[in-house]
Chain A
């Protein structure tokens, strides 16, 4: 048989394939983590933020040698902001792709559906981006959240006003009529009541409602001291544009979500000044932990990686991934994980506390993170400053909101 060029080529290819396979199987088997998150649809923007957060976590962990010596591999699927798809993707990740672990997506109604599927499979699902109270009321054992409950998240925004003079007496509460934002409004109402602030207007509007001028004129006419809004980024931006157009300057404006996303201040520029937002984390908080160091360290790492500062939801997402990682490290587990391993992880998450850059993560049996202080931040000179609780404040509250015509 003549050794012609083709034979040589074939031999070379086969040899290199064998060599590659050999080296591949000799490498450490990875921990395979699956994520179903909204990369398109109504929550496409927020979902991609969560995706970025998990990517940062994975890269950081792998740069430090992985978990117990094994690298982490992430698989993302797009739930298209549809709950039915979210649940289906959990099935796919668990059964089709046989992932070892899961991480949660963005948005209460999506995580609601996904967590039901995860519970059935016995996979812990930690989310850093869903906070509807309902999520914790189903008696699930495998659902965890690093974000506090929606009605609690806004506590800081209301309580901070007990520290200003003259103390505001009245408030108007408006918000989008979807799960998270409507619960945030209920939270506002609850805490306003507790602190003697009278709620003179309370209104939820459907997401299909897009022109706020007349609604806000109505509120302006009632002249409340505070305007408290249950919002996501889009609603928050629309409210600000409308407030300026109708020349309405309440003594303070607070949002349940939106201003902490860098885009808010970037797009609105000077019009974003004095805006207050609920938060669960800020870079100046005195927290520290493994892998990412302090809150300020995390802020720097994230900003360097993505050229934008992290929103508290992104921090919460990384925090959740980190807690699961620490549980695995403490248990000394290696991939592939079994059902018993995951049950052990679940128990560890409940029994232990995890000091991290995000705070001391401590899950109650219902899955809620009980240790987070509800923080309020304010946009001052284009930057977010923590203004409440006072012991963590890096700046004084600027009150009242400077009237539009005076800027």
Chain B
């Protein structure tokens, strides 16, 4: 087997890990509340900026910022859902999509005002370090994000299935009226869910900061990729974020390595379209149907 093929495969899996890390939160929010969070990418952006800011100000290693990003975004996400999105939760879902889009505009452009359009990145003494063997190459930073993604999915699965709050969340997702009758405070659950989704996304953003270029308008690209990942994996299905991420990452990497970069991008959207039309429940078949 030629080296490029194996390398592209490795790149794809690592990329998939990155994708899964920041898409799991999106899937959770949609799965539980039916909210297509069009401001999702801004959560990644904020996580990355928190890491960058702390790095610049107090030379905090970006990986140590991960918990800080998690807590900050949990609080922010909880507040957004509780005070803003919850107001339209009884209305047709379109309202929440447009609302989150408005939030996207506000967050991204306020960030531009505060931090300017400059492109930033974190360069540490260990930036770009990679393991090289057999003609292959594995960047450590991406490997760390890969493990983070797996950890997040495992954590979410355990939380949703083994904890009291998690069960309440699942109950609400299945049937909010029944849950309400059972004594679940649906609005509170929604706020917690959004907070949780935002927290894991923020963590992903912080973990990306060493190897990605950070700028206030970076969000939209991440939102679009998150769409693709969760549709491929299955909306609302946590493990689906991993499957979808890997599938997308591998397809993109192989296309870039053997065909062309342009085809790699075209294929991404084509794949998204085909999946929706043929199998909206995702590759796993466990996603929420249309």
Contacts and interface: CB of A to CB of B under 8 A. Distances in A.
Asked if A and B form a direct contact in the complex, defined as CB atoms under 8 angstroms apart, the reply is: yes
B252 A211 contact: yes
A213 B265 contact: no
B98 interface: no
B213 A246 contact: no
Contacts of B4: 217-218, 221
Contacts of A40: 109, 112
Contacts of A204: 261-262
A215 B258 CA distance: 9
B57 interface: no
Interface stretch (A162-170, A233-241, A309-317, A330-338): A233-241
Given A215-B256, A267-B123, A404 B128 contact: yes
B61 interface: no
Contacts of A24: none
B257 interface: yes
Interface in A250-270: 263, 267-270
Question: On chain A, which size bracket covers the interface?
Answer: 35 or more
Nearest to A248: B137
A25 interface: no
Contact of B3 (A211, A221, A234, A263): A221
A247 B130 contact: yes
Contacts of A217: 4, 7-8, 11, 137, 257
B102 interface: no
B146 to A, nearest CB: 13
Contacts of B118: 45, 263
B213 A237 contact: yes
Interface string B105-138: 0000100100011111101000110101000010
B213 A269 contact: no
Interface centre among B120, B253, B256 (most CB of A within 10 A): B256
Contacts of A247: 130, 132, 137
Contacts of A244: 127-128
Given A217-B8, A221-B4, A234 B262 contact: no
B211 interface: yes
B139 interface: yes
- The B interface, classified by DSSP as helix, strand, loop or mixed, is helix
Nearest to B210: A241
Contacts, number: 108
A48 B116 CA distance: 9
Contacts of A238: 213
B123 A271 contact: yes
A23 B252 CA distance: 67
Contacts of B257: 214-215, 217-218
Interface string A165-188: 000000000000100000000000
A132 B287 CA distance: 48
Contact of A210 (B12, B217, B221): B221
A203 B7 contact: no
A209 B127 CA distance: 22
A267 B7 contact: no
B128 A241 contact: yes
A234 B130 contact: no
B221 A45 contact: no
A55 to B, nearest CB: 15
B129 to A, nearest CB: 9
B264 interface: yes
A245 B261 contact: no
B123 A269 contact: yes
Interface of A: 40, 44-45, 48, 177, 203-206, 208-211, 213-215, 217-218, 221, 233-234, 237-238, 241, 244-247, 263, 267-271, 404
Given A209-B261, A215-B256, A237-B121, 15 more contacts: A40-B109, A48-B117, A205-B261, A206-B262, A213-B11, A214-B253, A214-B254, A234-B119, A241-B128, A241-B211, A241-B213, A245-B137, A263-B120, A267-B123, A271-B123
15 contacts: A44-B112, A45-B118, A45-B119, A204-B261, A205-B265, A209-B261, A209-B262, A213-B253, A217-B137, A218-B4, A241-B128, A241-B213, A245-B130, A267-B119, A268-B123
- Nearest first, the 8 closest Cβ-Cβ pairs linking A and B are A205-B261, A244-B128, A45-B117, A245-B139, A214-B256, A214-B253, A44-B117, A214-B257
